[in-house]
């Protein structure tokens, strides 16, 4: 039996580590790495007491765990290694050790005594981990394209996953674009028995509301708790031996992170903030970000982009992404990461604030949407959709006509499918026609529907939060940021996804998060007097590009690659033509097509 982790270094040479036993057990790695103290991307493998671990990520509470383990008798060879903490934690607590970790991580640990490999992925799936268990062989890696180089991985595209890519804009875990290859979900572990080749997967945590007691003290006490927890989360993440900075937009999330970093570090420590601005006003927040930077006295770095001038980077960026994400904001995220990497090695971001505190616009209309579904018959709904499609089409960021058409699309289905359909690049009927098969809502969104229907909460807002945290956040938001940043060797940390803060947010009632029409109400209360008042009430703007306009300037994707994926080229080419002429807005479907086309082209080069 053999368990292998593929490694292809810069010179394509392999690095292999043997356990020295009778069984040929091999470890290697590519991009399963953390940023080492000097800033280079280095694979981290440590061994202790016959066990070995390969690890990607950061354990933010490793010092507390180190002290606890030392008190229990553990002897450490290093002074600060969080990788070594994993080995001692496993020796002390076994598989339950993951419940004690506060961080972002993907790791594989070989247990020599049990002759098994223990793999784990962090709660919100910030760090990638792909697995293929075939014929007694386990192949695992942090890159799908790297994993596919192993002979045990056939590399056959999965038609269901391709359809789900158009349904979600990403392939939700545990599926991947390859048959026989899976992703661990956030909060999951896997144990592979080397002797038998058997593997079991277990969940150690998931974002879900339970019938737990609401914290006492009311809103003032809750705001104080949120402030303390977020301050602690920021404090943990600014511990770094490399240059560190902050992504800064005009919104409350990134402003809160900068504010609390300033509070923790004091006025005498310089803070570097980074903003990408756009010449197109509906996409630009650079002026607001500059005001926040001035308020907190940061060394502010700003780059104003001509989005049309950046068009030529699309092929470079999308072609390099390991697993495609059909979120156009991956392009400015890549450019922001590249800009920040010129000065720093680690950056803190505001990712996760929308999921923890109900920051998306959809939360503000859920009650209205539910009432609409109860009062408007399907025939009248069809008429309303038709009228909405006649509205003038705007290419502005999150324009009214775009949001209205997306909302009405979602309202064409049962409430359990509202959110994934609202966010979908393509409609269910379009996906059926594209792949020449009769596919339904349950076929595409079954897991999201099951999550909604299995929730312990009846309130649509709490159920929506569960969807965003379990699907959209790991599958789109975090995947996009990790891929865009790691392409630039930049590590991005997210204080809002801290273990303790997330657990506390799950205990708060919904009306603490969205009250009197204000999104993130309790966060605004927590940051009152710390962040400028204008920032606390500013509407979410998003981080986008005018992809609808850009698509009119791109060449049509390759026919051969399209048909190789089982898709109807003529169907897509007609949509491209209609979009280019301005008679329809197919930005979601067409951008997803472009992403897959560039990924397929790059796949053929490896």
Residue among 333, 358, 270 nearest 482 (CA): 333
**With contact defined as beta carbons under 8 Å apart, do 60 and 126 qualify?**
no
pLDDT of residue 4: 41
Residue whose tokens read 């080069």 = 605
Count of C-beta atoms within a 10 Å radius of residue 499: 21
| Residue, of 74 and 280, whose pLDDT is higher | 74
Report how far residue 481's alpha carbon sits from residue 476's, in angstroms, rounded to the nearest whole number.
9
For the ranges 273-287, 364-378, 454-468, the one whose mean pLDDT is highest: 454-468
State the average pLDDT over residues 89-96: 96
Higher pLDDT, 2 or 397: 397
- CA gap 325, 173 in Å, rounded: 13
Mean of pLDDT values over 416-427: 90
> What SS3 class is residue 155?
coil
DSSP code at position 198:
-
For residue 214, what is the DSSP state?
Answer: P
Assign 133 to helix, strand or coil.
Answer: strand
- Find residue 107's DSSP bridge partners: 55, 120
Write down the mean pLDDT value for the chain: 86
Q: What are phi and psi of 462, to 5 degrees?
A: -65, -40
Strands (E), 263-370: 272-278, 299-305, 346-348
Contact assessment for residue 329 and residue 283, using Cβ atoms and an 8 Å cutoff: no
Looking at residue 600, its pLDDT comes to: 93
Distance between CA atoms of residues 69 and 77, nearest Å? 13
Dihedrals phi, psi of 98, to nearest 5 degrees: -65, -25
Q: Are 111 and 87 in contact (CB under 8 A)?
A: no
Task: Report if pTM > 0.95.
Answer: no
Looking at residue 396, its pLDDT comes to 57
Residue located via tokens 């470890």: 27
Q: Given its phi and psi angles, is residue 516 left (phi above 0), alpha (psi -120 to 50 degrees) or beta?
A: left
Quote the Cα angle for 172-385-426, to 5°. 25
**Any idea what DSSP says for residue 181?**
-
The torsion angles phi and psi of 10, rounded to 5 degrees, stand at -55, -30
Q: Which two tokens stand for residue 106?
A: 């993907």
**Reported confidence tier of residue 392, pLDDT bands at 50, 70, 90:** low
Q: Give me the phi and psi of 233, to 5 degrees please.
A: -65, -45
Judge whether 140 and 79 are in contact, CB under 8 Å.
no
Tell me which of 76-80, 255-259, 510-514 is least confident: 76-80
Higher pLDDT, residue 214 or 399: 214
CB-CB contact of 80 with 73 (8 Å): no
pLDDT digits (tens, 9 = 90+) for 508-549: 999 999 998 889 999 999 999 999 999 998 877 667 777 888
Phi, psi for residue 105 in degrees, rounded to 5:
-160, 155
Lowest mean pLDDT among 171-185, 205-219, 225-239, 561-575: 205-219
How far apart are alpha carbons 164 and 432 in whole angstroms? 11
For residue 413, which of 404, 401, 423, 422 has the smallest C-alpha distance? 422
Read off the pLDDT of residues 286-320 as tens digits, 9 standing for 90 and up: 999 999 999 999 999 999 877 666 777 787 888 88
Q: Is 131 helix (H, G, I), strand (E, B) or coil?
A: strand
DSSP type of residue 568: -
Reference 297, options 251, 333, 335, 266; nearest CA is 266
Residue 440 has pLDDT above 50, yes or no: yes
Out of 17-26, 79-88, 326-335, least confident range:
17-26
**Mean pLDDT (whole number) for 35-39:** 26
């Amino acid at each position: 039996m053999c368990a292998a982790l593929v490694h292809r270094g810069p010179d394509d040479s392999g690095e292999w580590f043997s356990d020295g036993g009778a069984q040929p057990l091999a470890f290697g790695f590519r991009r399963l790495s953390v940023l080492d103290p000097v800033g280079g991307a280095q694979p981290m493998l440590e061994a202790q007491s016959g066990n070995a671990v390969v690890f990607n990520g950061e354990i933010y509470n490793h010092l507390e765990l180190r002290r606890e383990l030392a008190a229990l008798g553990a002897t450490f060879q290093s002074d600060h290694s969080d990788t070594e903490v994993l080995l001692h934690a496993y020796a002390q607590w076994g598989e339950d050790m993951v419940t004690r970790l506060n961080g972002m991580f993907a790791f594989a640990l070989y247990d020599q005594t049990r002759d098994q490999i223990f793999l784990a992925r962090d709660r919100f799936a910030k760090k990638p981990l792909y697995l293929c268990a075939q014929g007694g062989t386990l192949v695992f890696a942090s890159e799908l394209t790297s994993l596919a180089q192993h002979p045990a991985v056939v590399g056959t595209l999965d038609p269901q996953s391709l359809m789900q890519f158009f349904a979600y804009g990403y392939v939700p875990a545990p599926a991947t674009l390859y048959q026989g290859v899976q992703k661990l979900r956030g909060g999951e572990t896997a144990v592979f028995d080397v002797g038998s080749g058997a593997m079991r997967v277990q969940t150690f945590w998931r974002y879900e509301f339970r019938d737990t007691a609401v914290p006492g003290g009311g809103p003032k006490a809750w705001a104080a708790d949120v402030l303390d927890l977020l301050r602690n989360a920021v404090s943990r993440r600014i511990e770094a031996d490399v240059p560190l900075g902050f992504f800064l937009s005009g919104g409350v999330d990134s402003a809160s992170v900068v504010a609390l970093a300033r509070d923790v570090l004091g006025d005498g420590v310089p803070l570097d903030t980074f903003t990408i601005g756009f010449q197109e006003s509906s996409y630009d927040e650079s002026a607001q970000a500059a005001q926040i930077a001035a308020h907190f006295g940061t060394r502010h770095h700003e780059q104003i982009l001509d989005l049309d001038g950046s068009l030529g980077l699309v092929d470079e960026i999308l072609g390099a992404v390991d697993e495609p994400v059909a979120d156009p904001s991956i392009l400015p995220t890549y450019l922001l990461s590249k800009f920040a990497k010129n000065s720093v090695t680690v950056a803190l971001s505001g990712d996760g604030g929308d999921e923890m505190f109900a920051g998306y616009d959809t939360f503000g209309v859920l009650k209205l949407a539910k009432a609409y579904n109860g009062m408007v018959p399907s025939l009248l709904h069809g008429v309303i959709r038709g009228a909405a499609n006649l509205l003038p089409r705007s290419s502005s960021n999150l324009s009214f006509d775009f949001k209205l058409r997306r909302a009405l699309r979602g309202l064409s289905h049962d409430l359990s499918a509202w959110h994934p359909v609202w966010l979908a690049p393509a409609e269910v009927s379009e996906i059926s026609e594209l792949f020449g098969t009769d596919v339904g809502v349950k076929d595409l969104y079954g897991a999201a529907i099951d999550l909604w229907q299995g929730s312990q909460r009846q309130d649509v807002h709490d159920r929506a939060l569960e969807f965003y945290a379990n699907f959209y956040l790991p599958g789109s938001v975090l995947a996009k940021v990790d891929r865009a940043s790691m392409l630039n060797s930049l590590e991005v940390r997210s204080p809002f996804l801290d273990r303790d803060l997330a657990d506390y947010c799950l205990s708060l009632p919904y009306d603490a998060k969205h009250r009197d029409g204000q999104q993130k109400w309790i966060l605004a209360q927590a940051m009152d007097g710390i962040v400028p008042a204008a920032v606390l009430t500013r509407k979410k703007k998003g981080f986008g590009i005018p992809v609808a306009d850009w698509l009119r300037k791109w060449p049509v994707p390759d026919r051969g690659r399209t048909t190789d994926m089982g898709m109807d080229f003529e169907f897509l080419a007609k949509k491209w033509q209609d979009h280019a002429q301005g008679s329809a807005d197919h930005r979601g479907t067409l951008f997803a097509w472009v992403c897959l086309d560039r990924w397929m082209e790059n796949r053929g080069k490896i």
